[in-house]
Amino acid sequence: MFLTVTLNAAMDKTLQVANLQIGLRHRCAPGLVEPGGKGINVARGLKALGEPVIATGLAGGRTGTQIVDALADQGLLNDFQRIRNESRTTTVLVDLVGGISRPTEIVEYGPEVSPEECAQLWERYSYLLGGATTVVLSGSLPRRVGEDWYATAIREARRRDVPTVLDSEGQPLRVGVAAEPDLVAPNQAEAEELAGFEFASEMDFSMGLDTIVGLGARSAIITRDSGCVALVREGAVTRRLVATGPTLEAISRAGSGDALLAGYLAARRGGRDAADALRQAVACGAASTQTQVAGAFDPRDATVLAAKVTVDELAAAPT
């Protein structure tokens, strides 16, 4: 069973606004309200693909209750640690002008978490780890949670022979990568910050993958609007691949990277090789851009789109 960990879970509200302008009043149709956060989005994608998954993390206050209740209503198995302070909310503004989607995200920092609550979370994580075949650690950390939390969680999972996947940002990502996760999956901006340089060409992406793996990750996927690039180790073989999806008019790109990761993990669990897994991954990510709910997609749409995804070898960077 997959275990996803979302320490900074949220209730996401998505609103469609025409011609968004700061300082003006806008009217819109009722928005969509869904539980969110990277790990929850990945769990949603895995469930859509028929994979067994349980979501855990932190949930506080009335917002936390809404998150847990909504997940239960959707049939997504979850076991969150309750905390005193309020979980965050996120507002996504989708501005549709001339058929072009321009999402703007307003994201709260998240609650403060006490040392006692952190200890209770660790006990819950350790217990759930016992039934996990893969653990996915995703998203930002709430306030007063140590920046080494992911790194410690990865080391504990490795000690118990449970493969780990990390998708975060900033210092938690950097420290977490040093703990040697099996896979790290940042987006382009997060990868550029981690590698220390911008990616302007395919060779830059190849160098970025090498840098990230050199920091400790066994394999790496860098997501981008057109698809992803990846360095994947299959036994003694290292493959560098670039997967490119079809050009679609997006409704919202929020959570598309999480859908991509869910597609990849499900395909790998099903025994598919790296190239075929990336094909499904990019198709799932593309399908998710056709919905307003972050990371949600119809697997049937992903199946159709997979035939339009190209996967090619990526040249190695010069040494």
Are 196 and 178 spatial neighbours (Cβ–Cβ below 8 Å)?
A: no
Is residue 114 classed as helix, strand or coil in its secondary structure? coil
Element (DSSP H or E) covering residue 230 = strand 227-234
pTM of the entire predicted model: 0.93
Look at strands 32-36 and 10-17 and give their pairing: antiparallel
Among 201, 221, 226, 202, CA closest to 275: 221
pLDDT of the residue at 125:
98
From CA 280, how far away is CA 287, in angstroms rounded? 10
Among 19, 39, 36, 17, CA closest to 27: 17
Q: Is the pLDDT of residue 192 over 70?
A: yes
Residue 11 burial by Cβ neighbours in a 10 Å radius (0-12, 13-18, 19+): buried
The string of pLDDT tens digits covering residues 244-291 is 999 888 777 888 999 999 999 999 999 999 999 999 999 999 999 988
Q: Is the pLDDT of residue 107 over 90?
A: no
The string of pLDDT tens digits covering residues 44-79 is 999 999 999 999 999 999 999 999 999 999 999 999
Domain 2-20+30-313 has CATH 3.40.1790.10: no
- What is the chain's alpha carbon radius of gyration, rounded to the nearest angstrom? 19
pLDDT of the residue at 100:
47
Are 210 and 231 spatial neighbours (Cβ–Cβ below 8 Å)?
A: yes
Q: Which residue has the tokens 């972050």?
A: 294
Alpha-helical segments (H) within the chain: 38-48, 61-73, 115-129, 149-159, 170-178, 188-195, 202-214, 256-269, 274-288, 299-306
